[in-house]
Chains A and B, each alone.
Chain A
């Protein structure tokens, strides 16, 4: 069985310009964010350790046709890529993305593990992997901090929590989302970069993939205006302080619906 790893092509967060609270991505280069590159590396290490193939999966717009992007992902341990390109998927919300991914991985078949990253570099909703597992009816666990191996049809993994490390045996097939510090992303070697162009890329027939699942609609992405700190000190009993804070928020018009 193959391992699938999902990643998103998105505007590079360091190229994003902010003016008057509006976010401008026109001049941003599109690439795969660091969190997703870490997921690819974690999946690639597991694939190498278990002698499996690793297939990179992404759904998105025509940016996925970029040959440099494809070679980049193929130089990082993916044996092949399977892509769904449809402009309806550009900057899609997590539900629409998860629905398209679920259809894509079902068409790819022959997998028992899907690895996702912690969140995308641009919007970082951390939802897609979880929704993908739900749509596929598979066990899904996020916050995975180590992928230790596969024994039979069980994935051995770890999850760091505040109170300690959970050692998990996850029945396969399953979907996992790994943390951004599960490992370091790979530094591709020249040899891998040269070989990347010879690895297969499959463009899945977008006609068979639902690309317009309605979820939320993103009307605008904006940054809150930065304002000076008010530097107000409250004093009194906890009850009095609570009342003062509420009164202050109401005065600033920060209590929609009023008090």
Chain B
């Protein structure tokens, strides 16, 4: 067993870190939160240095990469790039969808602009009546020759108002069985009949908007169907495996940053005449935070490695999603405790982490969904 990254992965990581450190500072990140604008210049810098084309088809100037490398990239962009991770997480997830299910024309349409520093595809699945139950969608379409007409309402869609495309799920109004009626579409957000608005969220101002999408008689050519018509549900399950894995790279990065901030702070903050890190109660937190960060890393990269080796990750990706989402919340909470008022008042990044990490236990499949969808599969072995 070898836990080391390859030479190439290590060099890529160094190079990406250097690019991020040069193109976005903590001050830039804070400004992007205040103004609620995505830092497009830094995003373009990632594109110019070729980092957005990693994993894209070679025919489009992309560079082949396995999931392990993509998860490594997601981890680094979350660790050093702040909100850049919002676009990257969507980009990496939907790149896989396009590669697995998309036609060359669709890949060119969406990824062509993406790898040059354009926008990723947002995810349009959740609806007011379809959260954890993603098969319960009511957004539907009717076929008219070689086009479809879509009507419905999506919500909680990350960055949809900032993206040029949305990966949309809708069901064929003519079919009852929800598992056999769902189809995925590539929806250009400037299509007539599409209206996208921003919703307020925990933590307040953010450069990563959470949106609502209203679809009013939206006409799309059938060539915008991603994958096979009526095959949306199994495609969605595949999407989730990658989406959750890439999202947990963010949980790891944020937990690690929070831990590092807290550890450094504990050595420098003096109370009762000595640094607070000299108290066992603080050391216990340092120990637990470090342990959880390392466990998250191990689980995350093991799942990535399993996907690369074509292993079944239905159980493992859910264990990883549940563990990382929860451990990240625990680590950030402990880090905040160590930092005291600094974590609650002012503008330390731990404040952002505290608000944003909470959604990891709800989005992309909640804790409860991970458990009830996976426990029966675990039990099948016995």
- Is B22's CB under 8 angstroms from A187's CB? yes
For residue A194, which residue of chain B has the nearest CB?
Answer: B8
A217 to chain B, nearest CB (A): 35
Q: Is B2 an interface residue (CB 8 A)?
A: no
Within 8 A of B (CB), among A56-83: 67-68, 71-72, 75
B358 to chain A, nearest CB (A): 34
For residue A68, which residue of chain B has the nearest CB?
Answer: B7
Q: Is B268 an interface residue (CB 8 A)?
A: no
- Is B11's CB under 8 angstroms from A71's CB? yes
Question: Which one of B48-56, B96-104, B211-219, B313-321 contacts A?
Answer: B48-56
- Is A75's CB under 8 angstroms from B63's CB? no
- Is B8's CB under 8 angstroms from A71's CB? yes
Q: Is A230 an interface residue (CB 8 A)?
A: no
Please list 30 pairs of residues, one from A and one from B, whose beta carbons are closer than 8 Å in the complex, sorted by A's number: A67-B7, A68-B10, A68-B11, A71-B8, A71-B11, A72-B11, A72-B14, A75-B11, A75-B15, A184-B22, A187-B15, A187-B18, A187-B22, A187-B49, A189-B15, A189-B49, A190-B12, A190-B15, A190-B50, A190-B51, A190-B63, A190-B65, A191-B63, A193-B8, A193-B11, A193-B12, A193-B15, A194-B63, A196-B8, A197-B8
Encode contact with B along A178-217: 1 for CB under 8 Å, 0 otherwise.
0000001001111101101100000000000000000000
A167 to chain B, nearest CB (A): 30
For residue A191, which residue of chain B has the nearest CB?
Answer: B63
* CA distance in complex: A190, B54 (Å): 7
Chain A residue numbers with a CB within 8 Å of B14 are 72
Chain B residue numbers with a CB within 8 Å of A196 are 8, 11
Q: Is B19 an interface residue (CB 8 A)?
A: yes
B56 to chain A, nearest CB (A): 11
- Is A71's CB under 8 angstroms from B12's CB? no
For residue A31, which residue of chain B has the nearest CB?
Answer: B14
Chain A residue numbers with a CB within 8 Å of B7 are 67-68, 71, 197
B92 to chain A, nearest CB (A): 14
* CA distance in complex: A196, B54 (Å): 16
* CA distance in complex: A190, B73 (Å): 11
Chain B residue numbers with a CB within 8 Å of A193 are 8, 11-12, 15
Chain B residue numbers with a CB within 8 Å of A189 are 15, 49-50
A203 to chain B, nearest CB (A): 18
B117 to chain A, nearest CB (A): 14
- Is A188's CB under 8 angstroms from B11's CB? yes
Residues of B within 8 A of A (CB): 7-8, 10-12, 14-15, 18-19, 22, 49-51, 53-54, 63, 65
Excluding A190-B15, A190-B53, 18 further A-B contacts by CB distance (< 8 Å) are A68-B7, A68-B10, A68-B11, A72-B11, A75-B15, A184-B22, A187-B18, A187-B19, A187-B22, A187-B49, A188-B15, A189-B15, A189-B49, A190-B12, A193-B11, A193-B12, A194-B63, A196-B11
* CA distance in complex: A75, B22 (Å): 19
For residue A67, which residue of chain B has the nearest CB?
Answer: B7
Chain B residue numbers with a CB within 8 Å of A75 are 11, 15
* CA distance in complex: A42, B50 (Å): 21
B82 to chain A, nearest CB (A): 19
* CA distance in complex: A105, B8 (Å): 29
* CA distance in complex: A196, B18 (Å): 19
* CA distance in complex: A184, B49 (Å): 14
* CA distance in complex: A194, B53 (Å): 14
A194 to chain B, nearest CB (A): 6
For residue B18, which residue of chain A has the nearest CB?
Answer: A187
* CA distance in complex: A75, B50 (Å): 14
Chain A residue numbers with a CB within 8 Å of B63 are 190-191, 194
B48 to chain A, nearest CB (A): 9
Within 8 A of B (CB), among A4-25: none
* CA distance in complex: A220, B155 (Å): 67
* CA distance in complex: A190, B65 (Å): 10
Chain B residue numbers with a CB within 8 Å of A194 are 8, 63
For residue B73, which residue of chain A has the nearest CB?
Answer: A190
* CA distance in complex: A68, B6 (Å): 9
Chain B residue numbers with a CB within 8 Å of A187 are 15, 18-19, 22, 49
* CA distance in complex: A181, B181 (Å): 61
Interface centre among B15, B50, B63 (most CB of A within 10 A): B15
Q: Choose from A67, A68, A191 the contact partner of B50 (Cβ within 8 Å).
A: A191
Chain A residue numbers with a CB within 8 Å of B53 are 190
B127 to chain A, nearest CB (A): 38
For residue B51, which residue of chain A has the nearest CB?
Answer: A190
* CA distance in complex: A191, B64 (Å): 9
Chain B residue numbers with a CB within 8 Å of A188 are 11, 15
B88 to chain A, nearest CB (A): 14
Chain B residue numbers with a CB within 8 Å of A197 are 7-8
Chain A residue numbers with a CB within 8 Å of B54 are 190
* CA distance in complex: A198, B15 (Å): 19
* CA distance in complex: A75, B7 (Å): 12
Chain A residue numbers with a CB within 8 Å of B8 are 71, 193-194, 196-197
* CA distance in complex: A188, B63 (Å): 14
* CA distance in complex: A67, B49 (Å): 23
* CA distance in complex: A36, B15 (Å): 16
Interface centre among A71, A72, A189, A197 (most CB of B within 10 A): A189
Chain B residue numbers with a CB within 8 Å of A72 are 11, 14
Interface centre among B11, B12, B18, B50 (most CB of A within 10 A): B11
